[in-house]
Structure 1
Amino acid sequence: MASHDYVHGYSERESVRLSDQANTLEELLHSDTKYPAGSKVLEAGCGIGAQTIILSRNSPHAQITSIDISEESLDKARRFAAKEEVQNVQFRVESIFDLPFEDESFDHVFICFVLEHLNEPVKALASLRRVLKKGGTITVIEGDHGSCFTHPETGAGVKAWNSLVEVQAKLGGNSLIGRQVYPLLKRAGFTEITVSPRMVYSDSSRPQMEEGFVKRTIIPMVEGVRESAIEMEIIDAETFDRGIEDLHRTAEEFGTFNYMFFKGVGRK
């Protein structure tokens, strides 16, 4: 994947979506990630800093270096961090594949929702392993679009959803990567690997999840590939738009939505 082939784009709407996603899933994905005071942490692919704020809040006395390939995203991350009065994070424009740090520079590495966008995820993990101290840990979080189950499920809804999977694949990414977290970490040379599935389930008895995850995170994520999916002739406009309408029904009174994230931790 080229450095800037981010399937969801860099629009302001995408920034809002990423922030909503991080806040909605904070307890599910991040409650068990805390780093000791004084430890040096590398966050790889921080984007606009949505996860960075949570990392900083959970580990206020760790020293966090957050990198991303996009200067535009980092500008937003810096503004976001300043607004939240984050004190323990340094932002840098760097590539995961060409890290300027010396071997064994960090106690811990954190990477969330990044590997899905790379066509060489094992190479990226191996690069991160190089700068990790012996005995240090890496934490990897990825979703898996193949884990999506909805009610009601319609043909148009499934096609709209799958168009996201196909667009990402054509850009060199892999939105089904969640199920591969364990083997990827193993191939990159990590040991003591544990992977825990983190399920998101939404129905009308869980209005916060319906609003924060389905309406403000998932559906906008699919809508974001509309133009690309149509241009690539993966789906026609009418079917896509009807599919989006059907996906909205999964967040109504009689709808349900199910999705799985995978969180892996390995040691060098």
Structure 2
Amino acid sequence: MRTIPNDQQERAWNGYEGRHWADHQRRYDAINSGFNEALLAAVRPGDRVLDVGCGTGQLTRLAARRSGAGTALGVDLSAPMLERARASAAAEAVGNVDFVRADAQVHPFPPAAFDVALSRFGVMFFADPVTAFANLGRALRPGGRLAFVCLDDIRRGDLGAALAPLAAHLPPTGSDGTAVGEPLSLADPAVVRAVLTDAGFVDVECVPRQEPGTWGRDAADAAAFLAGWGPVRHRLAPLDPAVGDRVRAALAEAVRPYEGPDGVRLRTAAWLVTARRPG
């Protein structure tokens, strides 16, 4: 693996953040799997699929199955998450899948080696988005397809309301999350179009999507999970433990309206982005 320029992301995804996702593999899949079918629509029989920021690999495994005689390669920075991805592929007997620990922004993929590149919330953290997507474009064959989902403004889904109580208990982050490398860096479709166009893609389309995900069995369970979620835990860590108790109680009250027989269901607002390499 080449030197990783995304140093901060590399540390996060091989530290607490990556371990949390690995330890809560099923929970995160339950949160995000509503977007799977929209992404898998880009996969055709026999395709060679690249899954960028694959995490614990649910989408990679599904794409491998969808491709049939094709293959799927999942790429991620996180060793803990890839360990779970490999174990899950083995347990499910998905034989046409492989996983590589690498930074997709700079990894030397073989030229024109893939028919389609997918990503489920894995492309928002690039230190240099144009360079990263240009690298992915070179990995696609001429005419190859790109499909990913990235976060929209969280206020357009339910997550904004669920996290609103944090403002009363935690110090401000000093960021709105839209800077390069942050979770909302691609929340503006004008930014997405500019980045992908500069990276050499054509036929860029951004379609708004909202899909529900299950965050917990009940309000208390969802609140505990949210309090341990990396972005929240990072802000809680230096504070008195009593603050954490108040935050969990406030989060439980905030998500209680979303509690139902299937657990706490919150809609995630996202953009479904598609594009292709010319040729």
Asked if structure 1 preserves the Cα contact closer than 8 Å seen for 2:236 and 2:244, the reply is yes
| SS of 1:47 mapped into structure 2 | coil
Report the Cα distance in structure 1 between the residues aligned to 2:119 and 2:160, rounded to whole angstroms: 32
1:251 and 2:262 correspond: no
Aligned pair in 2 of structure 1 residues 36, 217: CA closer, same or farther (>3 Å)?
Answer: farther
Report the Cα distance in structure 2 between the residues aligned to 1:191 and 1:44, rounded to whole angstroms: 19
1:10 to 13, 19, 41: 19
Aligned pair in 2 of structure 1 residues 162, 61: CA closer, same or farther (>3 Å)?
Answer: farther
2:41 to 32, 39, 45: 32
Give runs of aligned pairs for residues 1-268 of structure 1, distance below 5 A: 1-2=6-7, 3-6=10-13, 8-11=17-20, 12-27=22-37, 29-30=38-39, 32-37=41-46, 39-144=47-152, 145-149=154-158, 156=165, 166=175, 172-175=181-184, 177-180=186-189, 181-200=192-211, 220-221=225-226, 223-225=228-230, 226-231=232-237, 236-237=243-244, 240-252=247-259, 257-268=266-277
Structure 1 spans left out of the alignment, 5+ residues: 202-207
Report the residue type matching 2:233 in the other structure.
E
Aligned pair in 2 of structure 1 residues 179, 232: CA closer, same or farther (>3 Å)?
Answer: farther
- Matched residue count: 258
Deviating more after overlay: 189-198 vs 89-98? 89-98
Report the residue type matching 1:243 in the other structure.
A
Report the residue type matching 2:201 in the other structure.
F
Asked if structure 1 preserves the Cα contact closer than 8 Å seen for 2:51 and 2:119, the reply is yes
Q: Normalising by the residue count of structure 2, what TM-score does the alignment of the two structures yield?
A: 0.74
Report the Cα distance in structure 1 between the residues aligned to 2:252 and 2:140, rounded to whole angstroms: 46
Asked if structure 1 preserves the Cα contact closer than 8 Å seen for 2:121 and 2:150, the reply is yes
Report the Cα distance in structure 1 between the residues aligned to 2:257 and 2:49, rounded to whole angstroms: 39
CA deviation digits over 1:98-133, x for unaligned, max 9? 222232222221122112233322221111112111
Structure 2 spans left out of the alignment, 5+ residues: 1-5
Residue identity (%): 20
User: How far apart are 1:229 and its partner, in Å?
Assistant: 0.8
Report the residue type matching 2:229 in the other structure.
G
Q: Normalising by the residue count of structure 1, what TM-score does the alignment of the two structures yield?
A: 0.77
Report the residue type matching 1:5 in the other structure.
A
| SS of 1:64 mapped into structure 2 | strand
Report the Cα distance in structure 2 between the residues aligned to 1:173 and 1:220, rounded to whole angstroms: 21
Instruction: Give the aligned partner of residue 204 of structure 1.
Output: none
Deviating more after overlay: 57-66 vs 215-224? 215-224
